[in-house]
């Protein structure tokens, strides 16, 4: 095992981290919603899969308008998900199994049910209670500026006395004013609270959002652009970073917060970490979040945004490594999460989508740094077309456009019909699971030759053999325009993005994402050679 006291071998630098979307992972009590005891009962699946850590989405007290990303009490567990002692039990059991636990921290906004926001409403304009949020007056009856919510519609809501408050997300998620010293003080306490309970790290929600330009000036919107906060695009499932003027994101002051958090994490031990969800415009601005005295990692969304082409993947690899190298951070890679269309579907769905998804995964897992997996991708799950009456995403409720529910459908564990052992009995989950999932359950895929689950298990096992020793250098090889190929230490990786098979270079075939005949790598397939 790497030495946790050596900064070069901190566990997260080469980890595979599995994202658990708590509502949809495993339900212990049959209410149709996943919960903490459900996660604990399924930890052996994660240990068998071979991941190093799990990141759990917010399970704190919340009215669930954004499924937990609207936190009413940062220091307690929502009864829907269990109790604090369930959280302690989960952490202890994960540690017994050799898994680290990363929890989600939501510092950009609270729920409107948080005691601070309730006090702000009660106290009225000009009060210290309102000064924890971004309340403003407006002279003309319109919102104080032209900013849009990431979830659609204006980013401002008016309260009874006429003032407006800013919410970059749903109106039930008021943004905090991070220039008010009470706000950073509260979050440092929250970090300590969960560190004391034994968690190994934090995923920082909207890490690029905390500070807004102090003037709250209008966003400059060029012709053809829509005033918006620039995170979720028109189908509310993917990012669009086409808006260049962003007075609401990525302000320089935010880095002071992460320097302070770095000190809090250090006090708790050398192996505590934080990973930023920061949708930044460039790899360089992403790298600023992971300078040595700030956060440890940032999600590299450029990888999931890359087109299916060898050139796009190569560009992302080169830019990512070049950006993190000067700050000494370890890069990260991610293809799916609870906010984007599942990658098998993005790559076209069906057999081709699955082949491409597996190939992209195998490629990613060989790169230096950490890979973040999203629950269900190890089963090859696709985005589900959720019926309108079952959709719950606030982005859908605000705009009427299909949003993120389709990647949040509960995991199928076993059996032949819904709920596929997601919960006890035959009670149905909070979003219906499709009938086609009978052949995709963990049970159905376990031991099945060629299944996506066995492919992930094999890839993670093989990865362990070289992840810590292959070094951080990546040497790109030229095997033709359709082929991404690189060498990392003893491993050669070949990804064929084209349609015709190509010759594999010399070396022993360790693993491939699909069938390989006679040393020829078919299209939409990747291989590792040694």
Quick one: 205 or 296, whose CB is closer to ligand GLC? 205
The Cα 201–Cα 191 span in angstroms is 9
> Which tokens is 486 given?
């690189």
DSSP state of 108: S
Does position 339 interact with ligand GLC (CB under 6 A)? The reply is yes
Could you say which of 18, 60, 69, 333 contacts ligand GLC (CB under 6 A)?
69
Told to judge if 267 belongs to the known catalytic residues of this protein, a careful annotator would answer yes
Among the listed residues 205, 294, 377, 382, the single catalytic one is 205
Asked whether 33 and 419 are in contact (CB, 8 A), the reply is: no
Whether the CB-CB separation of 246 and 212 falls below 8 Å is answered with no
Binders in 462-521 for ligand GLC, by CB under 6 A:
none
d(CA 353, CA 131): 49
Query: 74: helix, coil or strand?
Result: strand
Active site residue 175: no
Q: Is 60 in the site for ligand GLC (CB under 6 A)?
A: no
State in angstroms the smallest separation of the CB of 167 from ligand GLC: 10
β partners of residue 32: none
Interface residue with ligand GLC, options 35, 52, 66, 378 (CB under 6 A)? 66
- Residue 286 sits at the vertex; the CA angle it makes with 226 and 202, to the nearest 5 degrees, is 105
Would you say 492 and 485 are in contact if contact means Cβ atoms under 8 Å apart? yes
Three-state SS for 439? Answer: helix
**Rounded to whole angstroms, how far apart are CA atoms 197 and 88?**
7
Binding ligand GLC by CB under 6 A: which of 91, 199, 206, 485?
A: 206
Binding mask 424-463 for ligand GLC (x = CB under 6 A): ----------------------------------------
Task: Provide the 10 A C-beta neighbour count for residue 392.
Answer: 18
The residue from 11, 25, 169, 301 that contacts ligand GLC (CB under 6 A) is 169
Least distance (Å) between residue 339 CB and ligand GLC = 5
**Residues within window 79-118 making contact with ligand GLC, judged by CB under 6 A:** 106
Count of residues that interact with ligand GLC, criterion CB under 6 A = 9
**Selection from 33, 140, 128, 24 nearest residue 78 by Cα:** 33
For the bound state, the minimum distance from the C-beta of residue 144 to ligand GLC, rounded and expressed in Å, comes to 21
Residue tagged active-site, from 182, 242, 267, 351: 267
Give the residue with the Cβ less far from ligand GLC, 101 or 207: 207
| Closer residue to ligand GLC in complex, CB, 369/394 | 394
- CA-CA distance, 244 to 219, in Å (whole number)? 9
Catalytic residues: 205, 267
Binding site for ligand GLC (CB under 6 A): 66, 69, 106, 169, 205-206, 277, 338-339
């Amino acid at each position: 095992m790497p030495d946790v006291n050596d900064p070069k071998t901190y566990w997260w630098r080469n980890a595979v981290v599995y994202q658990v979307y708590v509502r949809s992972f495993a339900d212990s009590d049959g209410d149709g919603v996943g919960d903490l005891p459900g996660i604990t009962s399924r930890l052996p699946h994660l240990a068998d899969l071979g991941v190093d850590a799990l990141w759990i989405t917010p399970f704190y007290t919340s009215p669930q308008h954004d499924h937990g990303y609207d936190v009413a009490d940062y220091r307690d567990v929502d009864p829907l998900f269990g109790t604090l002692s369930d959280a302690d039990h989960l952490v202890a059991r994960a540690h017994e199994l050799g898994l680290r636990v990363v929890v989600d921290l939501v510092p950009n906004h609270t729920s409107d049910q948080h005691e601070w926001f309730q006090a702000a409403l009660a106290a009225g304009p000009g009060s210290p209670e309102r000064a924890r949020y971004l309340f403003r007056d407006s002279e003309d009856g319109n919102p104080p500026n032209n900013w849009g919510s990431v979830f659609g519609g204006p980013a401002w809501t008016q309260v009874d006395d006429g003032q407006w408050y800013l919410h970059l997300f749903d109106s039930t998620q008021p943004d905090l004013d991070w220039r008010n010293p009470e706000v950073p003080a509260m979050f440092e306490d929250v970090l300590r609270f969960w560190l004391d309970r034994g968690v190994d790290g934090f995923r920082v929600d909207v890490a690029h959002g905390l500070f807004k330009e102090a003037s709250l000036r209008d966003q400059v919107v060029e012709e053809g652009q829509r005033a918006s906060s620039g995170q979720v695009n028109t189908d509310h499932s993917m990012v669009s970073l086409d808006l260049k003027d962003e007075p609401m994101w990525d302000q320089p002051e935010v880095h002071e917060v992460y320097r302070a958090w770095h000190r809090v994490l250090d006090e708790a031990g050398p192996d505590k970490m934080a990973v930023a969800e920061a949708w930044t415009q460039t790899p360089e601005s992403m790298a600023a979040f992971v300078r040595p005295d700030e956060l440890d990692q940032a999600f590299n969304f450029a990888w999931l945004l890359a087109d299916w082409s060898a050139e796009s993947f190569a560009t992302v690899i080169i830019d990512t490594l070049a950006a993190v190298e000067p700050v000494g951070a370890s890069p990260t890679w991610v293809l799916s999460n609870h906010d984007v269309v599942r990658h098998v579907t993005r790559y076209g769905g069906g057999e081709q989508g699955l082949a491409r998804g597996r190939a992209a995964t195998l490629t990613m897992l060989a790169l230096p740094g950490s890979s973040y997996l999203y629950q269900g991708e190890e089963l090859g799950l696709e985005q589900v077309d959720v019926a309108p009456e079952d959709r719950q995403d606030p982005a859908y409720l605000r705009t009427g456009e299909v949003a993120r529910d389709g990647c949040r459908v509960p995991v199928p564990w076993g059996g032949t019909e819904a709920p596929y052992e997601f919960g006890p009995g035959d009670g149905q989950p909070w979003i219906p699971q499709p009938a086609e999932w009978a052949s995709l359950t963990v049970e159905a895929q376990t031991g099945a030759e060629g299944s996506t689950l066995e492919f992930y298990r094999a890839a993670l096992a093989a990865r362990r053999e070289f992840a810590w020793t292959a070094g951080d250098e990546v040497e790109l090889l030229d095997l033709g325009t359709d082929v991404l190929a690189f060498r990392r230490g003893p491993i050669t990786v070949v990804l064929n993005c084209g349609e015709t098979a190509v010759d594999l270079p010399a070396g022993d075939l360790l693993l491939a994402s699909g069938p390989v005949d006679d040393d020829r790598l078919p299209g939409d397939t990747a291989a590792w050679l040694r």
